[in-house]
Structure 1
Amino acid sequence: MAVVRFVFAALKPGVSAADYERFEREVDYVTAAKMKTIVNYCTHRITETGAGLSGGPWDYVERIEVTDRAAYQAELAVVGKEMIDELYEKYLDRSKTVSVWTERIKP
């Protein structure tokens, strides 16, 4: 069963998309690649949202497919701690971050 976490995130005021996307490529993707619990990780820039979507506005959405939710959270707390700290210290507005956990419905 595929377990996927979607994270909707907004940049802090004054942070450029170019700076954040450089961090994603150079730090976040590298950290995700080291984590044994992550099957697939990708970040997408949001270009448009539907009128009925509330809670934003967000600038990015991450799709994180993991082997097991609890194991991922435990590994992230160790392997990803410094990256997460830097992410919210410099780039993202934690108060606007929303996460959704899902399980894929098999065809």
Structure 2
Amino acid sequence: MPVRFLISTLKPGVDPAEYEAWVRERDYELVRTLPNYVSYRVHRITGPIQGFESAGWQYLERIEVKSLEQHDRDLASPAGVALREELYGRFLDRSRNIYFAAETIE
């Protein structure tokens, strides 16, 4: 199944504990209602990224879905748009995000 990864950084001044509470209480809750999602977890990066220590990235999201096309439709839905407005309005520096998709080698 396809997996989308997001590497992200908080906006200056954002409290990591506040963001992480939002992930648990709002982000994870919405994803649990969407049947396309197989697995979704946000990981805090602990320590420097080897080979790119100055990157400053703080979080890695692993989003396993049945369909990337459906994932994009979910993000474009009213609930998805509202969630992303909260995410980027309050917490993440969107200009520093890195996205990519991958597939597991079976």
Is the shorter-chain TM-score for this pair beyond 0.5, marking a shared fold?
A: yes
Q: Which residue of 2 aligns with 1:93?
A: 93
Distance 1:29 1:50 in 2: 26
Instruction: State the Cα RMSD in Å.
Output: 1.5
- Structure 1: gaps spanning 5 or more residues: none
Work out whether 1:67 is the aligned partner of 2:66: yes
Work out whether 1:84 is the aligned partner of 2:71: no
Q: Deviations over 1:15-34 (max 9, x none)?
A: 01100001001100001111
Match of 1:14, SS state, is coil
Q: Deviations over 1:36-67 (max 9, x none)?
A: 21110000000023332388321100000000
Aligned residue pairs, count: 105
Match of 2:35, SS state, is coil
Q: Specify whether residues 105 and 75 from structure 1 end up closer, same or farther in structure 2 by C-alpha distance, changes over 3 A only.
A: same
- Structure 2: gaps spanning 5 or more residues: none
Letter in 1 for 2:45: I
Which runs of 4 or more aligned residues in structure 1 lie more than 4 Å from their structure 2 counterparts after TM superposition? none
Distance 1:18 1:50 in 2: 21
**1:40-51 maps to which residues of 2 (within 5 A)?**
40-51=39-50
Contact 2:6 2:100 in 1 (8 A): yes
Distance 2:68 2:53 in 1: 26
TM-score after normalising by structure 1: 0.91
Once the two structures are TM-superposed, the CA of residue 100 in structure 1 deviates from its matched residue by 1.2
Q: Which residue of 2 aligns with 1:18?
A: 17
Q: Percent identity?
A: 39
